[in-house]
Structure 1
Amino acid sequence: MRTELARLEEQGGTARWRSIERCASDACTAPQRVRITIDALAFPVDFGVLSIDAMFDTSAGVKPFRVASHQPQSASPSSKPFSFEADSAGLAGFRAEHVEATSGSTTVCAAALLGASRPVLASGRYLLVVARDAGVPGIESLSMPGEDSGLITTREGIEVNAAWLSFTVRPLTA
């Protein structure tokens, strides 16, 4: 299993996902309060049990905040779009925990959002993809997921069997 994060960037009038590892923070390097809105999310039907936690850097260490969960044949109340406020230097990344439906084995993986080149969270739209196998294309080859669709596809229109969560970061105004 693997997780990937990307931020939407406009280049020459075309919007494309850019891997978070290749993104630097905006010019403003001072932490500020931001609103993080979970815009849309979807889980493949055959994915098994999956939980997604936002990981916050606190004075007591990195702590999880559950933002989505999926049980086969059910919809969790925590798996609906919502928003929350945070410090732009506090949301360190995401952790995904997957329990295989047949074997019961658990896999945990993470994707860092902040780092040395990204000390604060920049405004914009982001995409988190959780894939079970290496056959899923890289995040930069994916299209914009539809707000009303559970499908995510490559830019060529090929459906990808992966869980995904899109979110928007906006600065809070006084």
Structure 2
Amino acid sequence: MRKQIASFLLIAAVVVWGIWCGGQYFNEARVIPKKLSNPPESVAAYNAIPMNGELPFFFPGNPLIFLMSLAAAIAAWRWARRSRKWLVLSTVIGFGVSLALILYLAPLIWSIDLGLETTPATEIIARADAWKFGNRIRLIVEMLGFVCSVVALRVWSAEIVETGEIRNEV
């Protein structure tokens, strides 16, 4: 039963990573070009768009990739052999990305949004450029984390099948 829970958590980690990376790709491809095309004017125009029913995405979603990867690693650790390095990589990347977002990128984008009235345009532009660069690096690292989670699940599944430890019980 514990191996099945570990398998479920590994699948859930892959799904969470995939949803997160898809959202971040959309952010990079569609949101950022609109919001940061000509700061500070484009930021003010983007922020003026009504966002009724908007759900928080960054803080519930970003730590979730780390927490799900950590739960999967803990649950599978006892039986994992070859998949351990992939479990660790996925978890460490999730933790690092969460820290980067919480400690650097989120405060940077908020400083752009909240400083429109008081911050010089040159400073807003510099912050926007720094945020775009940092966000692209984060997206690349997140895609790597997603790949690591997929490889972890694949290697874990092969390990379990090879040992014959999970049987199809109907």
Shorter-chain TM-score: what band? under 0.3
User: Which structure shows the bigger proportion of residues in helix conformation?
Assistant: 2
- Scaled by the length of structure 1, what TM-score is found? 0.24
Structure with max Cα Rg: 2
- Scaled by the length of structure 2, what TM-score is found? 0.24
